[in-house]
């Protein structure tokens, strides 16, 4: 069976990591996989049998402002249609909301079954246009996947019959529970720096500034790239007088190693789609603390068992719990060990087999 995945780029973001993980699993199990993107760059390792193709061959040829306003809306769908027609795939899988509308309509024109995959929560984009697309265009997809029970119960199940809950797969092998001991005095966070407001990195720095007053020997490491965000957050860390204790790691191809050496992982996001990075941190033995934001963390963390959930954006409570964990190594170890034991439901095999079940189901669908 030939499957074509379509996504804007394969840079170092969470949805792209999920696509790479799923594509590699399917390729290893005999599926003919093509990944079709706008940009050439790929930040993840792909199986040698996967075909990687880009619509935009020469990056930077079109100015970014024009690229957004003209290329995406007019030229890109036309080029995408031509390439999809050449591919002659059995199934199309679209990743990310901006592409789903195009892929659903183009797949209908080509009479190819299509799965539209959401990788943010419904409330993250409540614009009228987005609401119309999800409410009406998604009905023409053969299947729609969403990340959480929250989105399924509160939104999609109310107007779609073809929607499935599909958490992100854990691409890392969990460490042995014994290895959660004797970690470094590092608090870790991760995400796109340019999305610092969404990721709550401004609050993260303020929380750490107060924690650092009591625990000056601890460091904060933030993994992620983005020049604009780096400039803002660097300046904020200077204003808070913690610049010597904050390390901006940049994009990490070895984020797993950074997680292995860190004792605590903080998720300070104002909202999430699912939070793949939280599951990854749990797998590498971090004691995790997260705001109970919409959506995802409450479906991953069982409070006080495999992590700590904090009332959404209650920075004072977050600060208090971080201090407690720093001061009680036994509690950190207990949370980390329980986290590792609770991740089977997010294994690559478990999630990929759920995908295969949907693929098999719609592959026999007759397209009218």
Residues 138 and 104 sit within 8 Å (Cβ to Cβ) = yes
Omega cis (within 30) before 167: no
Model pLDDT, residue 214: 95
Tokens at 11, concatenated: 């840079």
All CATH 3.40.50.2000 domain ranges in the chain, comma separated: 2-169+347-363, 177-346
177-346 CATH, one of 3.20.20.70, 3.30.70.330, 3.40.50.2000, 3.40.640.10: 3.40.50.2000
Euclidean distance between CA atoms 128 and 126, whole angstroms:
6
pLDDT tens digits along 85-105 = 999 999 999 987 778 999 999
Helices 14-28, 348-363: axis angle to 10 degrees equals 70
The full DSSP string for 167-184 is: PPPB-SPPPPGGGGSS-E
pTM to 2 decimals? 0.84
What pLDDT, on a 0 to 100 scale, did the predictor assign at position 252?
87
Task: Give 8's DSSP letter.
Answer: S
Q: What is the pLDDT of residue 171?
A: 82
Tokens of 328: 């009680």
201: exposed, middle or buried (Cβ count in 10 Å: 0-12, 13-18, 19+): buried
Q: Which residue has the tokens 């610092």?
A: 196
Which regions in the chain score pLDDT beneath 50? 59-63
The residue ranges of DSSP E strands in the chain, in sequence order, are 2-6, 32-37, 51-54, 91-95, 114-117, 143-146, 163-165, 184-190, 219-223, 246-250, 262-267, 287-291, 308-310
What is the C-alpha separation between 174 and 244, in angstroms, rounded?
A: 32
Q: What angle do CA 125, 130, 134 make, to 5 degrees?
A: 110
Angle between helix axes 201-214 and 227-239 (nearest 10 degrees) is: 30
Beta strand 246-250 with 219-223 is parallel
CATH 3.10.150.10 fits 2-169+347-363, yes or no: no
Residue 314 DSSP one-character state: -
Closest CA to 159 of 122, 107, 108, 129: 122
Q: Using H for helix, E for strand and C for coil, what is the string for 237-304? A: HHHCCCCCCEEEEECCCCHHHHHHHEEEEEECCCCCCCCHHHHHHHHCCCEEEEECCCCCHHHHCCEC
- Per-residue model confidence as pLDDT tens digits over 208-225: 999 999 999 999 999 999
């Amino acid at each position: 069976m030939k499957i074509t995945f379509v996504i804007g780029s394969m840079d170092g973001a969470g949805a792209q990591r999920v696509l790479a993980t799923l594509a590699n699993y399917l390729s290893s199990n005999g599926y003919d996989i093509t990944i079709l993107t706008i940009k050439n760059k790929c930040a993840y390792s792909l199986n040698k049998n996967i075909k990687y193709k880009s619509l935009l061959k020469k990056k930077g040829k079109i100015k970014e402002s024009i690229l957004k306003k003209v290329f995406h809306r007019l030229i890109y769908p036309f080029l995408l249609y031509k390439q999809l027609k050449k591919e002659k795939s059995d199934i199309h899988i679209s990743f990310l909301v901006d592409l789903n509308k195009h892929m659903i309509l183009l797949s209908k024109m080509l009479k190819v079954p299509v799965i539209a995959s959401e990788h943010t929560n419904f409330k993250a984009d409540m614009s009228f246009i987005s609401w119309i697309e999800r409410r009406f265009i998604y009905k023409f997809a053969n299947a729609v996947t969403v990340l959480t029970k929250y989105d399924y119960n509160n939104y999609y199940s109310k107007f779609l019959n073809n929607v499935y809950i599909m958490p992100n797969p854990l691409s890392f092998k969990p460490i042995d529970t014994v290895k959660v001991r004797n970690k470094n005095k590092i608090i870790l966070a991760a995400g796109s720096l340019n999305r610092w407001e969404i990721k709550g990195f401004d609050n993260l720095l303020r929380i750490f500034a107060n924690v650092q007053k009591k625990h000056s020997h601890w460091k904060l490491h933030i993994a992620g790239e983005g020049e604009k965000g780096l400039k803002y957050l660097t300046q904020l860390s200077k204003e808070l007088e913690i610049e010597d204790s904050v390390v901006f790691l940049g994009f990490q191809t070895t984020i797993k190693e950074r997680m292995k050496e860190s004792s605590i992982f903080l998720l300070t996001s104002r909202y999430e789609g699912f939070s793949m990075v939280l599951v990854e941190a749990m797998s590498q033995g971090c004691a995790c603390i997260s705001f109970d934001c919409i959506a995802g963390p409450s479906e991953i963390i069982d409070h006080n068992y495999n992590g700590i959930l904090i009332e959404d954006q209650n920075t004072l409570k977050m600060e208090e719990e971080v201090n407690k964990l720093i001061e009680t190594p036994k509690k950190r170890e207990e949370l980390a060990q329980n986290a590792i034991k609770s991740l089977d439901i997010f294994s690559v095999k478990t999630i990929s087999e759920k995908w295969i079940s949907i693929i098999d189901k719609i592959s026999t669908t007759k397209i009218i």
